[in-house]
Structure 1
Amino acid sequence: MSTDWDIAVVGAGVAGLAAARVAAEAGLRVVAFDRMAPGGQLVNLTSVHDHPRPGEVAESAGLVSRLVADAEAAGVVMAFDEVTRVRSGTPARLETGEGAVTAGAVVVATGLGAGRLGLPGEEQLVGRGISTCAGCDGPLFRGRPVAVVGDDEWTAEEALELAEVASAVTVLVPGEPRWNADRARRLAAAERVEVLTGASVTTLRGEGLLAGVVVATPGGSRELAVDGLFPYVGRRGPGGLVEEVPADDAGRLRADGVRTAAGTVLVAGDARSGAVQSVTAAVAEGTAAGRAAVAVLRTAAGSAPADEPPVAGLRTAAGPGLRIVDPTFGVPADEAEGAVAVGGGADWTEVALFSNSKPNATELLRGVGGRLQEHWALPELGFASKPNASAAADKDVIDWLSQRYKMVLVAVGD
């Protein structure tokens, strides 16, 4: 199959960059499309809370730089262009502003669009009091009152960032908050933040410049004089981008894990229906999608790619104390110490390691894997692990291992 790219990633945010990096590390030709700068929503934040672990804080600019650098170091090509349509197939076809390109597999990681209230006069006030980026426009409202509309983690984080510059921040929650306990605690502790539940904006005030809003609350209608309004409701996913993939009511693509109904199209991050909106989750999903995309290509090829001819299986005696059995051939009748299986079809260059994330097990496994890689002169040694020792192994990771590798060494316990 001749294609422009092995794998194309639509969106260069956290999930997209993770997917692209993983695919490129597998030796594939990978392009990541984004109509603006890479980094996604992270470029709008000063810091990221609960990353890389709960309770920790990461500086967003540094995180974006590392994600981009890692992807480019792996060989990912960044393309600053907008993808307007994806048609699955073998190969998949992407329509862009620069023309059509083809790819063996596509990962959709566009995230969500800007928040909108759907009220009369809203578009005319965008950039004139209405914004969806606290990091970008927050300083314009220093010492002035603003309102934030939404109920999710992103809403809470933006409100907390605005509280550092605005004179007052009113958080209007249409129903009940969905942010976590830590953000609820931080909002409650912020002196200039007020949270109103069951509140929704019904009218925008101002001619050419926002002057206030009318808010419907359980206690009745209320006028709120604000100079800035940051809506995080009505954010839409990329529904319609891929004709063969259905979307939910918010335009997020439906999928089983990261796999969609279109076999050559994967989805990761906030673009996926039911996604958890966090940086940590986006990295994990992007990684899974990248591995799944690699598996799609390997499965479609039926063997190693044409430019990577299979290496003959191991046919020599092992070193002292190392007994090798080819699983595709079976255990030989001769059970003598040091017996070596011959024949079979396993490609002994395709070896991977899988750890349960316990440090001792991972260290032991990498040590054994390094010895095997040196002994067999393996050009590549795959590695995967569970997110933590107590979590179940990710199905897409297991699928990737089973489809890409012929031997998987597993380390469990302490």
Structure 2
Amino acid sequence: MSADWDVAVVGAGAAGLTAARVAAGAGLRVVAYERLGPGGQLVNLTTLHDHPGGTGPELTAALTAAAEGAGVRLAYAEVTRVQPGPPTRLTTSEGEVTARVVVVAAGLSPGRLGLPGEAELAGRGVSTCAACDGPLFRGRPVAVVGDDEWTATEALELAGHATAVTVLVPGEPRWSAARDRLLAAQQRVEVLTGAAVTALRGEGALSGVAVRTADGERELAVAGVFPFVGRRGPGGLVEGLAADADGRLVPSAGVLVAGDARAGADQTLAAAEADGRAAGEAAVAALAAGAGSLRVVDPTHGVRPEPAGAGAVAASTAAWTDVALFTNSKPNATELLRGLGGRLQAHWALPELGFAAKESASVAADPDQIDWLAQRFKMVLVAVGD
């Protein structure tokens, strides 16, 4: 099966970068797509409450460096459609590419209250990024709407700026006990359960919200509201892939899902990294399982004996897009290489092999051609003759 990439990762947040690094570390050709830049929501965190030390931007830089160091190519393009294969086809803002395995780590959409006037008040009191806009509300009260881990994280972020942070939970909190303890330790934070925002107040700028509770309606005077309800996963991105009620994807053969985009995922940084690691390992295993194995044969003495105590020969992940033949155009070298290529094709049942040759045996190889071979193929078999 030919493809542009062994693994394509949609999203370059904590889960996506980790998955890409693991797959590339196993020698696979990996590309990670992100519309703007790596990090996802991680870049907006000044404090990492469930990760040892550092800030969001610092961890983003470390994850990006590790992925690129392993050989991952970062592509700044938006993926709008994934069609499972083989090979799987990805429609991007830069054109169509193919991959043998796809990991979707696209995260969730921004929160949304779905109330009249919300769009008009965006940037004028309605925000979905505490780290971005929190400093604008220094010395003023704000509200946070939601019930999950990310809601609690953003409330903790805002507690460093606002005079008061009221967390409005539509039902009961779903965040972890660890998050609950952190919120309880913040004197500026109050959590109201069974509270739903029914209206936004203010013209030109937010002045408050109407809140419905079990005790009836009440007005809450706040300068900012941060909604984290209504966030949705990338449901519909992958043709034929099932999604839950919130648009989070259920993994299937050929398409892996990691991080917040996966149905049932925990919304913590540690869980995202673990999810990405598992997805990367699954991609490596899937490609290894679909490849044949290669025995070393000596042309004079036949199959070499296995060394004492040696285990089974590891499966190869070679495909025709990984292997190319290159000759200096001498007839004897070309004949030798073509013969070896034929044996490889027969062994792996491959439709074709890459092939390139110097224009003439008497001139130097074209540097551009050599660069192309190095970038396009994992294995280049070279034969020269006198």
Give the TM-score band, short-chain normalised. 0.7 to 0.9
Partner in structure 2 of residue 116 of structure 1: 112
Letter in 2 for 1:274: G
C-alpha root-mean-square deviation of aligned residues, in Å?
1.8
Q: Is structure 2 residue 260 aligned with structure 1 residue 267?
A: no
Letter in 2 for 1:79: A
Written as runs of structure 1 = structure 2, the 5 A alignment for 1:166-315 is: 166-255=162-251, 260=252, 263-300=253-290, 302-303=291-292, 311=296, 315=305
Partner in structure 2 of residue 347 of structure 1: 313
Residue 219 and residue 88 in structure 1: after superposition, are their counterparts in 2 closer, same or farther (change >3 A)? same
SS at match of 2:264: coil
Written as runs of structure 1 = structure 2, the 5 A alignment for 1:324-335 is: 324=309
Distance 2:201 2:94 in 1: 41
Identity between Structure 1 and Structure 2 (%): 65
In structure 2, the gaps of 5 or more residues are 298-302, 317-386
Partner in structure 1 of residue 23 of structure 2: 23
Distance 1:200 1:163 in 2: 21
Larger Rg: 2
Q: Is structure 2 residue 136 aligned with structure 1 residue 140?
A: yes
Any conservation in 2 of the 1:311–1:349 contact (CA below 8 Å)?
Answer: no
SS at match of 2:48: strand
- Higher mean Cα deviation, 223-232 or 183-192? 183-192
Written as runs of structure 1 = structure 2, the 5 A alignment for 1:141-160 is: 141-160=137-156
Question: Shift of residue 31 of structure 1?
Answer: 0.5
Any conservation in 2 of the 1:134–1:161 contact (CA below 8 Å)?
Answer: yes
Aligned length: 311
Any conservation in 1 of the 2:164–2:188 contact (CA below 8 Å)?
Answer: yes
Letter in 1 for 2:42: L
Any conservation in 2 of the 1:173–1:195 contact (CA below 8 Å)?
Answer: yes
Distance 1:211 1:4 in 2: 53
Any conservation in 2 of the 1:171–1:195 contact (CA below 8 Å)?
Answer: yes
TM-score (norm. length: structure 2): 0.77
Letter in 1 for 2:262: R
Any conservation in 2 of the 1:20–1:290 contact (CA below 8 Å)?
Answer: yes
Any conservation in 2 of the 1:311–1:347 contact (CA below 8 Å)?
Answer: no
* Cα-to-partner distance string for 1:183-239 (whole Å, 9 max, x where unaligned): 222222212111111001000112232121100011110111111110111100000
Partner in structure 2 of residue 61 of structure 1: 57
Partner in structure 2 of residue 367 of structure 1: none
Letter in 2 for 1:295: A
SS at match of 2:265: coil
Distance 1:211 1:49 in 2: 30
SS at match of 2:150: helix
Distance 1:50 1:150 in 2: 19
Letter in 2 for 1:284: A
Distance 2:296 2:231 in 1: 49
TM-score (norm. length: structure 1): 0.72
